[in-house]
């Protein structure tokens, strides 16, 4: 490719009809100027093209880097998602096991409390029944004992005279005066002597009844 210097130094040999040297030189000078302009523009365009290629290459590299980063991020997100899902599933399973364990323990405890309450209630009912039966037996024995004592008193000849009504006697003035003197003497004697009450001895039937009750 010709350069502006080669065009400017070009010499033409004369043949036949000669050209005007000044016009030729002027034309060549203009060609040189135009060629230099084209050459500079070409250099500029090449430089810009190289810069554009470099920028495009940089953009492509950045694009590949971004794509690689996106791919790595996507892979990391997938791994994190799988790990999180696995941890959530494990946590959920553990929570379900713990909840089932708590429910079973609470149910067993409630059943034990219910069973103990039923046993205590049954024991109290049984104890009440025993106490009721004992009270009934005690009442019957006490009633029988009192009735036996009453029958003993009513049927005893020794006690009969205490309930007998004395015979009425005729009261005379002399007897009234004598009774008054006897009463005064009796009062004086009772002030000095302690009163002693003597009960009749128990019969063999009463002893037999009491011995049966004790047995």
Q: Is the pLDDT of residue 22 over 90?
A: no
Q: Is the pLDDT of residue 208 over 70?
A: no
Structure tokens at 68: 């690689």
Task: Return the pLDDT at 192.
Answer: 46
Task: Return the pLDDT at 101.
Answer: 92
Task: Return the pLDDT at 158.
Answer: 65
For residues 102 and 21, the model is more confident at: 102
Task: Return the pLDDT at 182.
Answer: 55
Q: Is the pLDDT of residue 80 over 70?
A: yes
Give the number of C-alpha atoms closer than 13 A to the C-alpha of residue 146, restricted to the C-beta side: 6
Q: How far is the C-alpha of 22 from the C-alpha of 28, rounded, in Å?
A: 10
Cα dist from 128 to 69, 83, 116, 132, whole Å: 86, 66, 18, 6
Instruction: Look at phi and psi of residue 135 and say left if phi exceeds 0, alpha if psi is from -120 to 50, else beta.
Output: alpha
Task: Return the pLDDT at 45.
Answer: 93
Q: How far is the C-alpha of 27 from the C-alpha of 34, rounded, in Å?
A: 11
Listed in sequence order, the residues at least 6 apart from 29 whose beta carbon sits closer than 8 Å to its beta carbon are: 8
Q: Quick one: the chain helix, strand, coil %, rounded to 5? A: 85, 0, 15
Q: How far is the C-alpha of 170 from the C-alpha of 177, rounded, in Å?
A: 14
Residue pair 17/41 in contact (Cβ under 8 Å)? The answer is: no
Mean pLDDT along residues 177-181: 56
Task: Return the pLDDT at 201.
Answer: 46
- Of 103-112, 129-138, 151-160, 185-194, the one with minimum mean pLDDT is 185-194
- Of 115-119, 140-144, 191-195, the one with minimum mean pLDDT is 191-195
Q: pLDDT band at residue 161, thresholds of 50, 70 and 90?
A: low
Mean pLDDT along residues 68-85: 90
Hey, what's the torsion of the CAs at 192, 195, 196, 197, to 10 degrees? 160
pTM: 0.33
């Amino acid at each position: 490719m010709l350069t502006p210097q080669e065009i400017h130094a070009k010499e033409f040999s004369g043949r036949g009809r000669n050209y005007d040297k000044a016009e030729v030189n002027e034309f060549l000078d203009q060609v040189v100027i135009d060629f230099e302009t084209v050459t500079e523009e070409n250099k500029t365009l090449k430089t810009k093209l190289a810069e554009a290629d470099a920028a495009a290459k940089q953009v492509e590299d950045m694009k590949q880097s971004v794509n690689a980063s996106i791919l790595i991020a996507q892979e990391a997100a997938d791994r994190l998602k799988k790990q999180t899902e696995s941890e959530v599933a494990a946590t959920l399973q553990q929570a379900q096991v713990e909840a089932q364990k708590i429910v079973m323990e609470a149910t067993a405890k409630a059943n034990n409390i219910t069973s103990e309450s039923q046993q205590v209630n049954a024991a109290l009912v049984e104890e009440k029944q025993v106490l009721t039966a004992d009270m009934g037996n005690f009442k019957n024995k006490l009633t029988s004992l009192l009735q036996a004592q009453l029958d003993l008193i009513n049927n005893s000849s020794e006690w009969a005279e205490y309930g007998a009504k004395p015979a009425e006697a005729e009261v005379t003035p002399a007897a009234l005066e004598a009774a008054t003197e006897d009463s005064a003497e009796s009062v004086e004697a009772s002030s000095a002597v302690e009163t002693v009450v003597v009960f009749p001895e128990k019969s063999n039937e009463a002893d037999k009844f009491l011995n049966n009750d004790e047995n």
